[in-house]
Amino acid sequence: MKNIIIASTSTLHNGSYLDYLLPELENHFKKVTTILFIPYARPSGISHDEYTEKVRQTFALINKKVTGIHEFQDPIKAINEAEGIFTGGGNTFVLVNELYRNNIIDSLEKVVNNGTPYLGTSAGSNICGLTMNTTNDMPIVYPPSFRTLGFVSFNINPHYLDPDLNSTHMGETRETRINEFHSFNPQPVIGLREGSWLEVKGESIRLKGNLTARLFQKNQSPEEIEPETELKDLK
């Protein structure tokens, strides 16, 4: 049975790393002693070691050990033997490129579908959708495919921002970008605002947190989704 948390972000404004999610994570990983961390997304270009140490310090607060997948000689074996898995945020193109380069995307999909507890934040959440095409990131590397893990039957836009009617910025809004996506792709997109997450338990997919999410469907007006809404039939 799938057991997944798909979080928009790791850090809220004026908060510390993962602090708003720690009570949820303590329960999510309650049967786990050691979490396998996938640091491939490298936010701000930090090293895998630096990123893993940051995560290690946070999970120590709930008495969980952390090992980085880059510390293993055989990453596929590390995935297959992991008690729990966390993929952190950063650049989605870099993350997906490394998943393919290390030949672990299929193994990751398989173990999580078979019940290994998984946490994704930001880029690590983006890859839970059907494709990575609704990322906010710059294409600084070129992965061999945009296909991702497909743990949910739609795409995800983490860090979703509503249009600011008072802004003088003339660039495209997130809504505009998602509408562009729907000119070429059929699947729905969930815009996850900061502090929101999706909880996947088996076939159930529920919006968690205190905020609504924005649902975009091709050729339909966007709509607001209330917390606790069941999304398993969204396709």
Measured in whole angstroms, how far is the alpha carbon of residue 31 from the centre of its chain? Answer: 21
> Quick one: tokens of 216?
């975009």
106 an active-site residue?
no
Which H/E stretch holds residue 108?
helix 105-113
Q: Which residue is listed with tokens 């649902």?
A: 215
Query: What does the alpha-carbon distance between residue 26 and residue 196 come to, in Å, rounded to a whole number?
Result: 17
**Would you say 86 and 112 are in contact if contact means Cβ atoms under 8 Å apart?**
no
Q: Which two tokens stand for residue 192?
A: 């996850």
137 is catalytic: yes
Which one is catalytic: 8, 107, 122, 125? 122
Residues recorded for the chain: 235
What are the start-end ranges of the H helices in 9-104? 22-28, 48-59, 75-81, 92-101
159 is catalytic: yes
Matching residue, tokens 């990123």: 51
Catalytic residue among 8, 137, 182, 196: 137
For the beta carbon of residue 147, count every other beta carbon within 10 angstroms.
Answer: 15
What's the rounded Cα separation, in Å, for the pair 107 and 38? 13
Q: Cα–Cα distance between 198 and 24 in angstroms, integer?
A: 12
Q: Which residues are catalytic?
A: 122, 137, 159
